[in-house]
Amino acid sequence: MTTTTYTVTGMTCGHCAASVTEEISEIAGVEDVAVVVETGAVTVTSTTPLDESAVRAAVEEAGYAMA
């Protein structure tokens, strides 16, 4: 298992967190996504290390940006 924390900007509520979680969860190998809206921290647990560009693309698909 690999756990990586990213910073996502623009999230302001639970709906924002749900959108980001949904998109990142679709990446192959993702086991868990934990979002802290107040800090923008998105912690992703996966079976193997993820390609950061795939995570960035998922975050952008949700309408947000990675710092």
pLDDT of residue 47: 98
pLDDT of residue 53: 97
For the segment 48-57, the average pLDDT, to the nearest whole number, is 97
Domain spans, the chain? 2-66
Q: Which CATH class is domain 2-66?
A: alpha beta
pLDDT of residue 59: 98
Q: What are the pLDDT digits (tens) for 1-42?
A: 999 999 999 999 999 999 999 999 999 999 999 999 999 999
Short-list 38, 26, 32, CA closest to 4: 32
Q: What is the pTM of this model?
A: 0.95
For the segment 33-62, the average pLDDT, to the nearest whole number, is 97
